[in-house]
Structure 1
Amino acid sequence: METNTEAYLYHDPTKENTWVQAVLNGLGQKKQVYHKATSLQLVTMLIIVIAKIDHQQYISEIETRNCGVGLMNMMGNKGGCAVRFRFHDSYFCFVTSHLAAFVANSERRNQDFTEIAKRLVFTQRSDKLTGYVSHSWNSGGDEGVAYIEHKGGVYDWTTQASIFHADHVIWMGDLNYRVNMAEPDIKAKLNQNKQQELLDYDQLSIERQAGRTFPMFDEGSIQFSPTYKYDPGTNQYDTSAKRRAPSWTDRVLWKKFGEQNKSMLKLLSYSNCMEMMLSDHKPVQALFEAKTRHIDEQKQISTRQNLVRQLIETKDNLTKGQISTSFIEFGDVQFMEYKEKTVVLENTGQVVAPFRFIPKMDESQVFPAWLQVTPEQGILGPGEKTVIQFEVMIDASISAPFNERKQEINDILVLRLENGKDFFIVISGKYIPTCFGVPLDSLAQMTIPIQEMVGSSNALDGTLRRSDANNKSPTSNSVNGGQGHQQANLPKELWRILTFLWNKNMLSMDTLFLDHGDRVVSDYIRKCLDSGDSFDTSILLGDTTDDQETKKGHNDSVGANSMIDVLLAFLECLPEPVIPTSHYSRALAASDSDEHVKLLKDDLPPLHLNVLLYIISFLNDAIKYSPSACKQERKQHIVSAFTVMLRPQLGFKETNPALAKLKKESFVRRILNL
């Protein structure tokens, strides 16, 4: 899967479709009897459900979800994808994830597991036909449901379903847990065929036994060699300078069953695939035998017909209903902040009441892009109620018009009862602008923090209008434009970020650029940038007392890498990247020529050129002052991460994504003179 920067923000189904076809083609002559039930991609993660065509009629309620737990807890470089569906009358949930890397990050991997388990939430559909079934999750006895509630998750299980609201849960992927032993010792044990001794030091097994991660899951006995890390194209463990230690990073686990239900799922085989040579990992495969529930269809049809007959004979055939409120107020909504409200719809009549949301007059869309509503439609029996959930979150893909005051959290939804009345639900809220997702031109013209400008709408509107004018006149000089307002050479937010990092002590840290920061610290930094508040060094750098020197060094690293995370997120959220989208093809073409790079720089808008040169200067110093032991690794991370400075226009399709990725990295190397 692609790891290029725009893959974190924009979905391109090309690779996903290619893999789906590859899986189907791998079935050979049996391909004709299988089909894709669903698939979902999140950057480097992809989950595909392939089923027999004969089973298609029995698969329903298919839902997919993903969540990123990477940069600032929102980017998809790390995270999880899940699919939940009903097969006959049992629910299956499959999760694939890519957790934090590096040996020392075991605790971070535990946190990633918890975050993914909490945030992958599906729609819980009320089904009276199966309401008699005593599922573990609706009898208060499910360990997984109790776990996410204990970890601070707040849910309404009448309308929501977690990954644990399933009869069968399979969790798989690159979990990245390592072996707590030095690389030479691990290889020595493997050469002596003492693999089972190594498993005593396996981090995932240790953390599971301690109850710190995956406590509600089981795993089969591992009888295969470590799946990581190999020289690509070989069965030889890593011989590069990094010499990554062999580990069982790739795993398949399943949700535990009680003693009475252990026969519900049986593991038939669990192994790796040593013949696969495409990656530095060896894939794992697991084969299960699962039991499912089946409804007696004849009794179901008979019961349904009797109910319909009774309803037809009812005297009062009018659809009637009521809602708990017609007004939903979200209040203040921050960037990347999730908020939800609910409305209760009740069938007060004597007949079945189908309901659905419909578009307003002369509009095609039912809901605005910033609002999700669940369920969008349904059927209520007499006296039944349902909770309708309204969710709002302004993320990087839609924040620009909100920051530019071109869009507001304001809408009216129409909820229709078939053969009954329409309800009008008013949605309102106040978006708190952020510097993330604002064009560079606008930020550079703001002399005060963006949240202070909100109080003066005329000032903010004027700034944005001037920014629009500049964008429409790319040849105008932003410094001597004669408009009465002088544009700064740099956005102050970018200056604050780099000023914090740009000193020899920071740049000399071993782990700078190599680890992620803390999501809470990153959120604190963003709020300071938006409000203009000074950075609190006790938060970013930790305690400075002499007796905590080791802890301080760790906190310094966390604070610095949190600032790096914020810098990358800031650049990723720009509506127009540092290298404008109009220059994207030229940049790729210039990746092998210093002369062409110089010509491209000369043609950049002045502000974009200033920003580019400022970032280049910072990155050159970051490489210059990096410790010799990690200099090469830091270079590679910088080159890969800062391809964020260029991306194509939305909707652009790469003919060769792998080649484009290499060209972008080559372009970054060339502008850094590496």
Structure 2
Amino acid sequence: MASETEQSATERLDSRIPGAFPEASGSQPVVATHQSLPQALYDRRLEYTRARNVRIKVGSWNVAGLKGLEQDVGAWFVGGKGIEESLAGLGVADKKAGDARESIEDQEARRSSTAPTVPHNDKKAVAGDDEVGIYALGLQEVVDINSMSEALRPYTDPSVAARWKQALVAAMPEGYQLVAEQQLIGLLLLIYVSPSIHPQVKAVSTTSVGTGLMGYMGNKGAVTARLVLGETTRLVFVNAHLSAGADKASVDRRIWDAAQITSRTRFEPVADAVGMAQSAGERLGDEDFAFWFGDLNFRLVGMGPDDVRHLLTIHAKGLNREQHKSADVIDNTPISTDSDSVSVSKTASDFEIADESEDDIPVPPELDPASLQTTIDSLLPHDELLEVRKAGKAFHDGWHEGPIRFLPSYKYDLGKVAVFDSSDKRRCPSWCDRILYRTRAARQRYEESSKEQEDARKKDEEMKAVGLETAGDDESVLYDYNPDTDGTHDTYDEYDDHEDDPEPETVSTKDGFQDEILLESYTNHMRVLSSDHKPMEAVFFLKYDAVVPELKSAIHQEVARELDRQENEGRPSVTLVVDRSTGSSSPVNAGTTDSSFDGVDFGDVRFVKSKRRNITIANTGRVPATFWFTDRPVSKDQPEGPFPPWLSVAFDREPDAGAKASSDNRHQQFTLEPADLLNAELKFKMSDLNLVRDLNDGVSSLDEILVLRIHEGRDHFLPLRGNWQQSALSRTVDKLSNIPEGGIRKLQGQKPDVSQGVRYSVPRELFRLTEAIEDLTERTLAEWGMTGQEGNKEKAPWQHNAAWPFAGGINDPKEENMAAEAHDALDCDEPFEKAFPTDTRPKQKLEIITEVFLTFLRSLQDGIITKSLWEKLEEGFINREKSRQPISSDDEKMWALEILSAAPIHNASFLLTVSMLQNVDKQIVDASKLDETPTPRSSVELPSSPRASVRRKTLSKVPQMAVKQLVLKNHAAVFADVLFRAAGDEKLKEREKTARKERMVKLVELFLWDE
């Protein structure tokens, strides 16, 4: 199977080919959320529908690419003229005696390309004019399809269709309107409706399918229209021109053409019976009534063309005695007497029947050996269309045709009434032009029959598989199934639509209405002389139920009111209650407009400080209630999901089986029985530094609304709020240097007074954190040094991680809470000791404070080393790397300090940070000397180095120096990640990012070495 990409590419290519797959609608089908209203309205459809009648005339004509033929179309198609009653078919009225219709001789004699060819003084013999409510005309070869330039033209010439429409409008009764038009090269479909029918026509959709050159071009194929009549009945009209030719390959190609038209025809979606939803696009076969007409090109086979022409000319010679002088010789060619063909040995006089007296009983045409119908019945078994239907290859799935009681429609000499092809090709007359129809009921009968046959075949195969036999000695009861014969019919009569007059057929439509259709007439127009094909027409009488819009609207309102009442009584209902101990206890109902806050209030909230609130959800309705928190609108600051990033929700029961869930309890679905309830815990925790910045600046707030969605019920809204406490995080170094004693929290709701200038050389927070880290490091190492006697001492902290104490140490909720209190102490300018219980060891305090310190540095908007400072520093590093001229450490320090001096506060902050690191590193190195046992370098237990890659061969042979090298390298790597701000990182390749990181580490290391 082709991939989706390949399929979409194919569809785009096909869309450029005339007659290819029609383009799909860009809009997605709309699915109704409430099915009860449409169903209730549908159940009362008899109250807002009324029976209507309409005649539908379907016409087909191959105009052979000739010009001027539109002069005849109004007379035969609208006026019902040009029919030769003696050679006509079903439903043709006899002319009254004494009608002075123009003779055939005179009609043929005056024929020209500039005047209509229909006989003068002719009267209609079938329904026409305003007796018909829907006119559907299918024309073939309105342009010369044998011309390569026409067949490959990427567009259709609108002037061609305009000429035909102009002729039809002139012939139509007043008020008739064009409702559907579709052209594909030489195919043209036009549908007009009467003024009374026009308001009932909806959902018109037209399309085309090309099956010609390369299987897609429009020189052959079909144009199709779908319309919905009275909001109840789907009608489809297919005007087709199938492949020509009289050989076996041509028949197969016609079958293929028909299958392609069926499978590739697509229509736009149709609103359902009450207009509240959209179904998917429809195919051919989804309609209630379909009419397939056109030049189907099926021929008569197995007979000599001259024999067929002779048989039919016998019946036509009376129309023009000058042109048909002998029944035994056609155009000076003797009649064939070959045993393989039909032998004709009698002249017309042999079939003459003596004048009957008034008391004689007329002989039915089908029993009269000299009648036209007898001749037609002898020819129809050789008709290809009937053969392929009988074989189940095409038009076998419910299609019917009216009785054929008229001469073939093809092929005639231009300008002649009944002279068959007299050219050198002498083509065999055939019923090439046909009008078929199908009802939904007929298609369903076919599908049921096909299913029964398939079930019988499977049952036969099962019985064969088990070897079921009779009790007799030799006779077997194994059933033989032959797919070529079984399921088909042994007699032609089953597929013969042409013996009896059609009966009215009752059809249940797709929307459940009862319609009735009757074929009233089916004939051709022999007296139209302007094409080598005679026009075909069929008139259908349709009884259908049509929606009365005014009645439907009134009943719609009535049903809606009743359903609303029922829905309010039976709709799922829940009540949301916030626990009294955690906030307001008022029930939270949808649409609350009270000024009091009926939601969850977290009160004062701080960075990484967790707060919890409980809510109760109770089913207070009469039916089970299924609910979930639905997603909020997604924006730049609001990620996808039902909860804001600072909130998580935990429920006290398991979600429904199969309900969508995730690790953070999003999208969980619960069902409560009446009077049942569940509890949920809402946890607040702010850890997003970007959101902290916005909260500090007042750009964002902690006002949110959770949406609790009740399946088939009303949404409930749960407001949330919290009062953000200002934080020193996510600010700039310059702003922090202006914060007075008392910390940022002292300025809650205010801004620093910049008029006083810079208050401190470095932010107080930076000073306090570095001071605390130095002090706690000293206390931690002192405690480690006193943990026990030699040989019973715990492993040194840096031997677990060479980056200690900056390796991260928040491991459990208790430490998480202490970190939150430490951040609060930093914001309030209070001692860090308040954050720790009295029994907290110095090592644990140190690891928590270092984590707070790294978070503080990471959150600085401008960084200790700003983007502009780093650009200058990096430029110097790169230049030295290129020149390969190293300088001494002291010179490199002086160079770096000279650049940093451009930003005094940042320079001082950097020096304070690295000074703290120097002190920490010195304490670690000094502590490593406590192990006084001399050990060869090869067996020294060296700490791991997860932060920085250090090659062992570069380490000093002195253990303490090796420890120092590892510790400094790791500390430099840690602080390179938090001290610097650099532009364009996202555009760098991995190798360039690595090189940049190494330069940052090098700068920090430069200031850590005290040598």
Per the TM superposition, whether the score is higher than 0.5 is no
Structure with max Cα Rg: 2
TM-score (norm 2): 0.28
